[in-house]
Amino acid sequence: MDADDYLSRQDVEIIEILLAIVGLVAQSLRDEANINLESSYFQSRWEELKEFALTPVEMEKVEFSLPSIGKFTTKLKRADVNFRQEVRKKLTPQLPSLLDEINLVLERARVELKKCGYQDLALVIDNLEKIPDVIDQETKQGTYYRVFIVGGEQLSAIDAHTVITIPLPLIHSPQRSSLAQTFGEEPLVLPMVKIEEKNGDLYVDGLQLMQKVLHCRFEIVGSHERDVFDSQDTFEHLCRMSGGHVRNLLIYFRSSSDYVDSLPITKDAVSRGIRQHINAYSRSIPEKNWELLARLHLDPDRYIPNDNDHQEMLGDLSILEYMNGEEPWYAVNPVVRELDKFKQALEDAEQDEGETS
């Protein structure tokens, strides 16, 4: 589930997440396995909701089905905050029974899936890590606390193997211990693939892994990197600029391909494709962070303090985290290093260090 398809990032509560899950499961099973699930419980809730969720004309056209719940949450995302508050007021007191019914739906889904030759069902709920921590003015509680700590009890009670992405600042906050207790395990931080050492030297094994990510995709269409890029150097340059971030690697590749009419992709096309992302960082990084980025780049230990500025930079990927069997260490994103503002901050920091010594 891509949470952005169903949820408004600035105004999220656990009730919308649960509704989106059951709606998407039902829709996926219908579309991909021709399995139609039913629920008298959700039909009753639907009858209650549609009375104020739909106009009389819409009500005549809409018939209940479990996939309708997913469509309803999409409608809820686009609605104003007062509308969402009404839905929450109606359904939040029913959270325990709603969760029980979701698990019954999942149980029925599992039975039907096994009849079709599948082993089981798994939920992957993506993009929840992009939710900002908005403080509710009435309760003074933040979104992270309401959704992942309090709401985590419901999420952890879902009767299916579930993978949930969570905001990185939450992991680095004092609430981490509560998070671990709620879900029964420590959150897993997915680091970058290490493509360079702390001192900046190339780490060949990591670079080869990043190349393999693209190689596997080329194989699908019967091609090879020697046909896709004008040189091995161009291929390596693309992988190094990703910083070991797989999604960025794919984004940069796609952007680079826009600058050629036919293969191979040239070094100039890669540079132009990545340049648009470099420019985006130039506009988004606050002035106060340039010195911090330069100091990190000069730090041989590649350590960052656990403060708001550095957590913000981890969140926007101007700083990348690496682990790979070691203590965590950090590096400035390679695309950020290309910026003139960073180069100037680095020069200033080196000059300051020289004067100090």
Percent of the chain scoring above 70 in pLDDT: 94
> b vs e for 204-215, b when ≥16 Cβ sit within 10 Å of the residue's Cβ?
eebbebbbeebe
* Dihedral sign computed on CA atoms, order 308, 310, 311, 312: positive
**Is the pLDDT reported for residue 308 higher than 90?**
no
Quote the pLDDT of residue 45: 84
Quote the pLDDT of residue 62: 54
Quote the pLDDT of residue 79: 83
Q: Are 179 and 187 in contact (CB under 8 A)?
A: yes
**Is the pLDDT reported for residue 185 higher than 50?**
yes
Rounded CA gap, 36 and 102, in Å? Answer: 15
Instruction: Specify the range with the lowest mean pLDDT, choosing from 38-52, 88-102, 252-266, 289-303.
Output: 38-52
Quote the pLDDT of residue 183: 92
Question: Averaged over 283-306, what is the pLDDT?
Answer: 94
Quote the pLDDT of residue 140: 87
Using a 10 angstrom Cβ sphere, with 0-12 exposed, 13-18 middle and 19 or more buried, the burial of residue 252 is buried
**Is the pLDDT reported for residue 57 higher than 70?**
no
Instruction: Specify the range with the lowest mean pLDDT, choosing from 114-118, 122-126, 324-328.
Output: 324-328
Tokens of 238: 């693309």
Question: Average pLDDT over the chain, rounded to whole?
Answer: 90
**Is the pLDDT reported for residue 157 higher than 50?**
yes
**Is the pLDDT reported for residue 296 higher than 70?**
yes
pTM here is 0.79
Give phi and psi for 162, each to the nearest 5. -125, 130
Q: Quick one: pLDDT band at residue 56, thresholds 50, 70, 90?
A: very low
Instruction: Specify the range with the lowest mean pLDDT, choosing from 15-24, 69-78, 116-125, 303-312.
Output: 69-78
Rg (CA), the chain: 24
Quote the pLDDT of residue 326: 67
At 129-140, the pLDDT tens digits run 999 999 888 888
Q: Quick one: pLDDT band at residue 17, thresholds 50, 70, 90?
A: very high
Question: Averaged over 235-247, what is the pLDDT?
Answer: 96
Question: Averaged over 219-242, what is the pLDDT?
Answer: 95
Instruction: Specify the range with the lowest mean pLDDT, choosing from 8-12, 14-18, 59-63, 180-184.
Output: 59-63
Question: Averaged over 254-259, what is the pLDDT?
Answer: 96
Q: Quick one: pLDDT band at residue 356, thresholds 50, 70, 90?
A: low
Nearest Cα to Cα of residue 66 among 39, 32, 106: 39
Domain 204-281 has CATH 1.25.40: no
Quote the pLDDT of residue 206: 95
Quote the pLDDT of residue 96: 94
The domain locations on the chain are 3-183, 204-281, 283-356
